[in-house]
Amino acid sequence: MSRLVSLALVLGLAAGCDRPLPDEYPGEPPPDPPESEESVGGGGPSESKAVETEFHTLILGHRGIGWNVEGNPYPENTHLSVQAALAAGADGVEVDVVKSADGVFVLRHDDGLSTRNPEGGRPRTNCRGHITRKTWSELETCLANPFGEDGFRVPLDRLEFILNLPIRLLILDLKNDQIDVEPEETVSQLAAVLDENSPRVMLMLYQLETVLWAQELGFDACLKEHNSVAERPDFARDAARYGAVAVCMHEPATSHEAVRELHHWDLEVVSYYLSSRPTDRFDRRVSQLARWGVSAIITDLVERSRSVLEPIDP
């Protein structure tokens, strides 16, 4: 039985989270994530530019343990999903964040509360309206839905609810252009949420100007790129000049040539998001990205990816 399936059988109160969960959670608590060795830096400003790691490549869970994985009962972007990813072997996670009307960072992919995943499934929550137009007191009663019919509905989580977990690297994808429209205000509010005990945070950003703001306020930034770097010859140079630590590159566009070009400019590479059936082809791709020197892989298949990298990493 896979670790993911076994986790699904033992859902309960998440270790380290003092927030009460619904009565529908049966059984024993899920296994605690492994204790992390010293966190790679603290929350907020980071002293080094490179993604420091004892491994060649970090495995990061996509929205937690994954959003479209067969047998996954965990709603994406929730405390339980993040904890499940860590228990399955992830070094960290990538989560999406939307800021509420009163400045609370809510773990959600979309501002719209009733949007659906692009591949179907139920609406992401049981509420309607928009996060950016509601206060946290209005949002905390909303329930997040799992992708499929089987699984558990859990209250929405705010960013603070996952900061006490043993995460080595936390990538925050700030949604709905809030970070680009009000970069200084948003990053300052985010810094106020984090403290010296928080995991290392990297902001996934879309605009060079926003990268500059994040860098000036002491945050590591990963500039998101969906297309091939070859299509934008000045992309790597500009990312480095504006102070990005890394480039978060769409996995299909992550080529050996692109990785070499980004490394030339002293940029780390984070490949997002590797999602496929657990096949030999998937294994070969994980191994290939690691051997090219990709610093982190964001994936829905955490356990499978970890098993591939164990023979590679020292």
Question: In terms of Cα–Cα distance, which of 66, 92, 68 is closest to 77?
Answer: 66
CA 52 to chain centroid: 17
Which bin fits 187, alpha (ψ -120 to 50), beta or left (φ > 0)? alpha
pLDDT in tens, 47-94: 434 444 334 799 999 999 987 666 788 899 999 999 999 999 999 999
Read off the DSSP letter of residue 16: T
Distance (Å, rounded) from C-alpha 203 to C-alpha 246?
Answer: 10
Note the pLDDT tens digit of each residue in 126-180.
999 999 999 999 999 999 988 767 778 899 999 999 999 999 999 999 886 666 6
| pLDDT at residue 198, rounded to an integer | 87
- Who wins on pLDDT, 121 or 137? 137
- Global pTM value: 0.82
Give the whole-angstrom CA distance, residue 104 versus residue 122. Answer: 25
Both tokens of residue 262? Answer: 């980004």
What ranges do the domains of the chain cover?
3-10+31-309
Residue 21 in this model has a pLDDT that exceeds 70? no
pLDDT at residue 260, rounded to an integer = 94
Q: Residue 152, CB half-sphere, CA atoms under 13 Å: how many?
A: 23
pLDDT of residue 267 exceeding 50, the answer is: yes
- Indicate if the pLDDT at residue 266 is higher than 60: yes
Length of the chain: 314
- What pLDDT, in 10s, does the model give residues 193-252? 988 788 999 999 988 888 988 888 889 999 998 776 656 778 999 999 999 999 999 999
CA separation for the pair 28, 14 (Å, rounded): 10
Instruction: Quickly count helices (H) and strands (E) in the chain.
Output: 10, 13
Rounded Cα gap, residues 30 and 206, in angstroms? 36
User: Where does 3-10+31-309 sit in CATH, by number?
Assistant: 3.20.20.190
Choose between 108 and 45: higher pLDDT: 108
pLDDT at 34 over 70: no
CB 82 within 8 A of CB 165: yes
| Contact partners, residue 212, CB within 8 Å, separation at least 6 | 242, 243
